[in-house]
A and B are shown apart, each in its own frame.
Chain A
Amino acid sequence: MVLIALAVIVLPLLTRDSYYLDVATTILMNLTLTMSFRLQVSTGQINMAHISFMGIGAYTSALLVTRLGFSFWATLWIGAVTAALLAVPIGSVALRVSGPYYFLITFAFSEVVRLFFNNFFENLFGGPSGLVGIPKPGRLLGMTFNGKLALYWLMAVICAVVVVALVRLDYSRFGLTAGAIRQADLVVETLGVNVFRFKLTTFVVGSFVAGVAGVFFAHYRQVLHSSDFGLEPMVLLVVFTVIGGTGSVWGPVVGTILMTVASELLRELHHYEILVFGAVLILTMLFAPEGLVALPGGARRLLRKLRGRAAEPAGAGVAP
């Protein structure tokens, strides 16, 4: 945690190269998304519409700023709150089912949202050619957030708040209940926790955070396409989170940093990079099903086991 915080602070001192700053900003943006996605995974929900709430935040802010002249600093909240408000009815419907049905319902919803942005109200959302001309965030408290460096710092602050809050939650009784729901939801319910309301809370909070990331994304990239919030980025979001490991709150941190950097290195492959990610995902599932963060602990256990076996007198060892 301290190391990562240090890296975030030191990086802009080492380089002003806009490419590295861009990659770093992308990592922080992705991290905000994967952390909020994992908040829901911790209760056992694989919300395939998570990226759509990012899109809802992004389009809300982009339209309010370009059409109605709102300030970015207002729409940062409005976009996130809009995503959270829409998450209430959608979550209420989707969370009536669980497992593969939940996966399918949220996936269907995300496609509806993407097609809506792509095919309807072309004069508003820009249709297939996208929504262009979104301005940079602009001034706040005498500072101007237009350059790469300033935007990097802005995203770093947003990401830090999100990470600290979600880590705190995960280490508290809230995280304990979330993991208990994943293990045996009926038992949690009979112990007096309204499991439906709990899951809905994580859905809405997760969507709020995704909305924040979306607003930043809109004003950072300055152009929005419906495919930014389609299946491919959603799959990447899942891959980032799962490769790091969903069992620990640090999983998405490790996964996002490694995979965003990998994604930059594989840039030449264009759309084929998802093939590489697919292979990495399969390998992770086979050899580290609990994700990369679980590897050190697993290795330690394996070592202890091997050492334990070696210590036993030859011939006395019985296969467990």
Chain B
Amino acid sequence: MLLELRAVSRRFGGLLAVSDLSMTVVSGSIHGLIGPNGAGKSTVFNLITGVLPVTSGEVRFKNERISGLRSSEICRRGIARTFQATALFREYTVLQNVLVGAHLLAAPGLAPTLFWSGTYRDRERQARERGRALLESLGLGAVGSQVAGQLPHRDQKALALAMALATGAELVILDEPLAGLTDQEKGETIAVLRRLREQGLTVLLVEHDMKAVMGVCDTVTVLDHGVRIAEGTPREIQANPAVIEAYLGAEEPGA
């Protein structure tokens, strides 16, 4: 397993947002995390990526404890994420967005930068080329020099994914990657996720589109009021009476 949560809890004052949650994400899989609004899904993402500290329990990645580390250190160990409200550097161009913090596109050191050395120029050129290739592979090749804040919604979503991938992460955590997309755009994004899985990447995602989740995920974990109520293949989840009662009963059961 790549990622493991062991009895993780998070308390906000009197509210237990995540309670005693254990789950594992298998390497090379697409893992869905679903649940009604307020179930604690985004909180779980924040706990994994160190944006919020856990109240108790621990998060392990590649058999090492990562809870308690800074977000930047967790990213360096191989977990990158996107945010629900797509977070970009709006004043920067698309290519610049991808270059920020991109370890895959290694930055030259301080001395080469100051002295404008050959190393610096080579590194920068390589980084730009790899950044462009990455954008190309996500269908953003044509908009590399546009300002990110002016991109259409679909492209902003794709850019957020590109930024996460540029870190060289093995696990990407996507908070509602399909929200606000048309059916056709959803189909394109799902195809991208499948392709990334083929390339060996592991994906953990929160998504409200049940049809998409059941179609693309290998494993699904269901949260309700911060408690895990089910985990299994999409088929098992759809047949699970606890899920139907607590969650799917409230909405259309997806398919």
**Interfacial residues, chain A to chain B (CB-CB below 8 A):** 165, 168-169, 172-174, 176-177, 179-180, 183-184, 186-196
A189-B71 in contact (CB<8A) = yes
A188-B113 in contact (CB<8A) = no
Of B80-88, B176-184, B207-215, the one contacting chain A is B80-88
Total residue contacts A-B, CB cutoff 8 A: 85
**Interfacial residues, chain B to chain A (CB-CB below 8 A):** 49, 51, 70-73, 75-76, 80-81, 83, 87-92, 96, 99-103, 107-108, 110, 113-114, 116, 120, 124, 127, 163-164, 166-167
B70-A180 in contact (CB<8A) = no
Taken together as a complex, chains A and B put the C-alpha atoms of A173 and B109 apart, in Å, by 10
Taken together as a complex, chains A and B put the C-alpha atoms of A209 and B189 apart, in Å, by 49
Query: B residues within 8 A CB of A194?
Result: 70, 72-73
Taken together as a complex, chains A and B put the C-alpha atoms of A165 and B116 apart, in Å, by 10
A191-B163 in contact (CB<8A) = yes
- With contacts A168-B116, A183-B91 taken as known, whether A177 is within 8 angstroms of B75 at the C-beta atoms is no
A173-B91 in contact (CB<8A) = no
- With contacts A173-B99, A176-B96 taken as known, whether A192 is within 8 angstroms of B89 at the C-beta atoms is no
Chain A contact residues, majority secondary structure: helix
B75-A191 in contact (CB<8A) = yes
- With contacts A165-B114, A168-B116 taken as known, whether A186 is within 8 angstroms of B100 at the C-beta atoms is no
Query: B residues within 8 A CB of A169?
Result: 113-114
B72-A176 in contact (CB<8A) = no
Please list 9 pairs of residues, one from A and one from B, whose beta carbons are closer than 8 Å in the complex, sorted by A's number: A168-B113, A173-B107, A177-B101, A183-B89, A184-B87, A190-B51, A191-B72, A191-B101, A191-B164
Taken together as a complex, chains A and B put the C-alpha atoms of A173 and B87 apart, in Å, by 20
B102-A191 in contact (CB<8A) = yes
Residue of B nearest to A184 (CB): B87
Taken together as a complex, chains A and B put the C-alpha atoms of A192 and B164 apart, in Å, by 10
